[in-house]
Amino acid sequence: MQNAFFLSPTGAGTGLTSVTLGLIRAMDQLGIRVAFCKPIAQIHEGEGGTERSTLTAEKTLGMQPAEPLSLSYAQSQLTSGNKDQLMEEIIQLYQQSARDADLVIVEGLVPDANDNYLTRLNIEMAKALDALVILVSAKNDFRSEELNERLRMAASLFGGTRSPRVLGCILNKVGAPPAEYQTVRASDGQDENAPREITIERIREKLSVFDDDFLLLGAVRWNPSLVAPRTSDVADYLEVDYLSQGASRERRVQSITLCARTMPNMLHTLKPGALVVTPGDRDDILLAACMAALNHVPLAGLLLTGDMKPTEQVLELCRAALHTGLPVMLTPHNTYTTAQWLNHMNTEVPVDDQARMELVMDAVAAALDAERLAELARVQGERRQSPPAFRHYLIKRAHEARKRIVLPEGDEPRTVQAAAQCQSRGIAQCVLLGKREDVLRVAENQGVTLPDEVEIIDPDEVRERYIGPMVKLRSHKGLTEPMAEAQLEDTVMLATMMLALDEVDGLVSGAVHTTANTIRPALQLIKTKPDATLVSSVFFMLLPDQVYVYGDCAVNPDPNAEELADIAIQSGDSAIAFGIEPRIAMISYSTGSSGTGADVDKVRQATELAREKRPDLLIDGPLQYDAAAIASVASSKAPDSPVAGRATVFVFPDLNTGNTTYKAVQRSANVVSIGPMLQGLRKPVNDLSRGALVEDIVYTIALTAIQAAQNDA
């Protein structure tokens, strides 16, 4: 039987599922093959017969845990004296869930004051599975003495705090406000739900239960943004009608403003994430909210109470604001009743809200002592490069690199958010090009607090000093000072000059600009590495169990054999640089010597050239995609290939094939892709998709910082 952690809550309201899934994420980030099992379903009122933890593990983590037993069945087996049979069934479910995992995370049952048998079931399950026990508790309103006693009592059920089977506790909701404030509540602009800062050291001082035998394995701080529901969740809960659905599934309710005051006295509450609740006949509030939306303030929505719909003339005035994605809803209840309902809304993460669950899991994972937990789990053997492990690797390496990255689209909203995140998380020192007042206004409208360390450089104030150096770099092309000054009006060109002069370590652009607009200045001013014949690109494709490298899917339309060999070598080196063992497959429509034609001959020739240039790299081709990726196909099509069936780097023969394949895999299999990352330049310049999310920009900045560190090395 595999190693197992059994998570047992000390009571209700501990956030057991969030902690369980966050622990899975933490282990996955370390490359440990981890599985999930919820042996007995505990379905709460309003969940429609669905066991949330199992379904969330399936939808969010792509796992395939066994279907749990029903609680009523488990209870009947206990009362009938069939405990041993029940435990045998639970072990069978555990083994079905575990498959080839190195570690299994088992979620226990939440005890209830009226159902003591739930605690008994937890004890019996942990014993039957021979699992190491981790208690999950919440600080909440307990005094230190109360929490100490609560933890000791919970541990005593499994053998006590000195038992080698009881590892310790994960403490959740540290620094949380009183329970009645742990929801989205009415606000007058004061941040009453802000988390209180409490350090790990302070927790250990206050809680004497923690020592060398009973460990504090993690302290998850309360974060009100993690309980923020989508506007659509609020709409479903209140059963409202939409006047305009807008971006209700994307926007989140961070605060609620109840508008009983005059408009000037409530304007300060119109901030990002605010749900404005007002009687339907307050046209002044409606128009003020619409003006805020037109000024790029992403309100969570407008909820009109009292079953009073604005007139068509007023709605027509609001049309442009509604097109920004502002949700507008209508309820028959009055404002007071609506507010009461909102205060009692369940803040658990809905199963279909994967974006929020990802944030929760990442927050929990970051708060855990993951390396210590992996050590305690006694996991042995090679760890895989899973998608969470790869993302974790990127952030860690970028943090170590401490590079200065310039972002020429400095007043673009997603870029501003990404810069704030990168600075706060220590991923990079970000430099935003743009007028300070514009950048700060965008940040304010997005509800982003820019750290003081984020640099903002006004292009108009520095442009002149780059004219001379640019003329010197491009004098062989006949560039004059007036021509250079005109070209430097383009912030990408200006940022590239900063990179050329070593004032920054890397550049990321493309949220607004085209790929050509990003690459052209780099080719003119940065140029290629001495050993590179061209600039190419790779995407990192984050499949469920492995990260693949795809090249070239973004730059070269139809490379010849020599260029294709160079792309293969660059892609292999990129794989090595980012912790992926390179097994390079040269993709074609034919495998081995079975096919003929100019296209397959090009791939065959490129394979030979790449092998000659870099005998240290494992390269084979031509290979069809299925022969490269699937072991069973490889055994029949290319049984002697050292790459077939286990390729990690896929080099496509042309841009048409590469771009089509990466998008087909990305969209059809719901795979996250990071890139394109440019290869072959002397200094790192990277392009974004114009549809890039904030997260995409963050990871591209991390990639760029790591490339810069590798250049130094």
The predicted pLDDT at position 2 comes to: 61
pLDDT tens per residue, range 271-298:
899 999 999 989 999 999 999 999 888 9
User: Are 389-525 and 536-680 the same fold in CATH?
Assistant: yes
**Alpha-helix runs per DSSP H in 207-296:** 231-238, 283-294
8 Å CB contact between 361 and 24: yes
8 Å CB contact between 13 and 115: no
The predicted pLDDT at position 198 comes to: 59
The predicted pLDDT at position 380 comes to: 53
> Residue 521 pLDDT > 50, yes or no?
yes
Q: Cα(9)–Cα(43) distance, rounded to whole angstroms?
A: 16
Position 258, amino acid: L
Position 489, amino acid: E
8 Å CB contact between 433 and 407: yes
Task: Pick the more confident residue, 410 or 198.
Answer: 410
**What is the architecture, at CATH level 2, of domain 231-343?**
3-Layer(aba) Sandwich (3.40)
Task: Pick the more confident residue, 218 or 42.
Answer: 218
Rank 3-17, 366-380, 660-674 by mean pLDDT and report only the highest. 3-17
pLDDT tens per residue, range 419-447:
999 999 999 999 999 999 999 999 988 88
Decide yes or no: CATH 3.40.50.150 for domain 389-525.
no
Percentages (nearest 5) of helix, strand, coil residues in the chain = 45, 15, 40
8 Å CB contact between 85 and 14: no
569: closest CA among 522, 623, 532? 532
Q: What is the mean pLDDT of residues 129-156?
A: 86
Q: What is the mean pLDDT of residues 531-560?
A: 89
DSSP labels for 85-122? HHHHHHHHHHHHHHTT-SEEEEE-PPPBTTBTHHHHHH
Q: Where are the domains of the chain?
A: 3-225+357-377, 231-343, 389-525, 536-680
The predicted pLDDT at position 1 comes to: 47
pLDDT tens per residue, range 454-512:
999 999 999 999 999 999 988 888 889 999 999 999 999 999 999 999 999 999 999 99
State the virtual CA torsion across 78, 79, 81, 83 in degrees, nearest 10. 0
**What is the architecture, at CATH level 2, of domain 3-225+357-377?**
3-Layer(aba) Sandwich (3.40)
Task: Pick the more confident residue, 381 or 260.
Answer: 260
The predicted pLDDT at position 194 comes to: 46
> Residue 192 pLDDT > 60, yes or no?
no
pLDDT band at 193; cut points 50, 70, 90: very low
Least confident of 10-19, 93-102, 202-211, 638-647: 202-211
72: closest CA among 47, 42, 92? 42
Q: Cα(237)–Cα(207) distance, rounded to whole angstroms?
A: 39
Rank 70-84, 413-427, 684-698 by mean pLDDT and report only the highest. 413-427
Q: Cα(81)–Cα(103) distance, rounded to whole angstroms?
A: 31
The number of beta carbons lying within 10 Å of the beta carbon of residue 413 is 17
> Residue 633 pLDDT > 90, yes or no?
yes
Q: Which residues, including other chains, have CB under 8 Å from residue 282's CB and lie 6 or more apart? A: 259
pLDDT band at 706; cut points 50, 70, 90: very high
> Residue 141 pLDDT > 90, yes or no?
no
Q: What's the chain's average pLDDT? A: 88
pLDDT band at 354; cut points 50, 70, 90: confident
> Residue 612 pLDDT > 70, yes or no?
yes
Domain 536-680 top-level CATH class? alpha beta
Q: What is the mean pLDDT of residues 182-194?
A: 51
pLDDT tens per residue, range 17-28:
999 999 999 998
